[in-house]
Chain A
Amino acid sequence: MGSEKIVRLLGQEYVPVAYNGFRCGTDPDAKWLEVLRGQGAYVEANSFTVATAGGKVLANDSYGAHVVAEGFEKWKKLPEADRKPGAIKVGAESPKPRLDPPAGGLIVRAYTRALKRDDKGQLARITAQDARDKSVYPPEWDPLYNEPMLDHLWLTESEGKSLVPADPRKGQKLSVPKPIQMRIFRFHLGNGTQGALETWDLEHVRRGELVLIVEETTPLVQLRLEGSAVLSSDADLSKAKMGIGARLDGRLTYDPGRKTFTRFDMVATGEHWAEKMHAYYPTPRRGRNPLGVAFELIRESTPAGRVPPWGLFNGAPDGRRYFSAGEQD
């Protein structure tokens, strides 16, 4: 879906929906998809389907971008009576989201990008040219891996409040509460740029600290965040098959009048290594390579902005593992 033409077509001529295939069972959406499956459509993981609101399949493939144009051509050929607004009535109740952001909490978007060091030793983006170096990049390296991967970090309302001192003073330092530190380390310092994000167990956190420093107090409270973390599959880093050593830096702004954060920007940069991240995912780059994670506060209340963190899908459905990341699973 990388072409401008496809993006335009999807935005203007379709009602596009992105469906998490892990939602199944009694979910009303999943039940309706059975109607499409009954017509021979592959609607399991990793598929594109064009259908009418009434359930007629027009085009379907496992990740074939041709579906977008092909499906629209078939749609245009349907009788006018089947296509006009209001022709189909949809009375079904919308399913409740399985996981909603915490009320009054913070939603922070996290972008993870595989990086490189350029000739001057500075962090830089990977190019198509770089991926030709087979001493570092595996043969199956896809240009998509050069782009950032998306995720979200959720903080509850009380967690957000815990980041601001009750009576802030310039130069004041406070430690970021442990559950928040551990959530960031365990669920957001991993390399998912080639597929599913690796997450860490509590025992994999070898070292980690995150502090906030008050830089300004009026009219807005400006906070700087500093820290570092080391996570590895083995306590002996020379033996660890997977690991990351990262430095964290952030800029937060809190508006005491509106009692809300207006900025939550953070970066984590460091070296990551992995012999193999998942059995069914491509081989990662060889050796230790730079990885960067950029966090930013998002405010738009769109479906895309409310997608749950990956870490919430790994573990108890109530999100206990994610929100209590400082405790043993």
Chain B
Amino acid sequence: MNLSLLAALLSAVPAPSPQDGDFEKLHALIKPEADELKFLRVPWLTSVTEARRKAAAEGKPLFIWTMAGEPLGQC
């Protein structure tokens, strides 16, 4: 690996700032706040068949959220 490429790679990782050193603060900053990702508070099932069974037993309608990917994960 040539020296200029190595230098570029090393400089591509930002130096930590004083705040960056506060692990707990950084962790909390990135995680969702109370009013974010509200949909996670819904008690989702991931099997339509299980949901149908539960809905039939409890006398409730189904709400089906379909996505091209995992609605409760990345997508």
Contacts and interface: CB of A to CB of B under 8 A. Distances in A.
A184 interface: no
A175 interface: no
Contacts of A251: 23
A232 B54 CA distance: 47
Nearest to B60: A15
Interface stretch (A18-26, A130-138, A159-167, A213-221): A18-26
Contact of B59 (A68, A84, A148, A306): A84
Contact of A50 (B5, B9, B63, B75): B63
A292 B26 contact: yes
A264 to B, nearest CB: 12
A151 B74 contact: yes
Interface size range on B against A = 35 or more
A121 to B, nearest CB: 6
B44 A308 contact: no
Given A49-B64, A51-B61, A1 B39 contact: yes
Contacts of A22: 68-69
Nearest to B61: A75
16 contacts: A18-B45, A19-B65, A21-B69, A48-B63, A50-B64, A94-B53, A123-B29, A150-B72, A192-B74, A196-B69, A229-B13, A232-B12, A267-B23, A294-B26, A308-B70, A308-B73
Nearest to A2: B38
Contacts of B50: 17, 94
Given A149-B74, A310-B73, A18 B46 contact: yes
Contacts of B51: 15-17
Given A21-B67, A21-B69, 17 more contacts: A7-B39, A16-B43, A17-B65, A18-B71, A19-B65, A21-B68, A45-B68, A47-B65, A52-B61, A87-B56, A95-B47, A196-B75, A251-B23, A265-B27, A269-B20, A304-B46, A307-B46
A148 B63 contact: no
A45 B14 contact: no
A185 interface: no
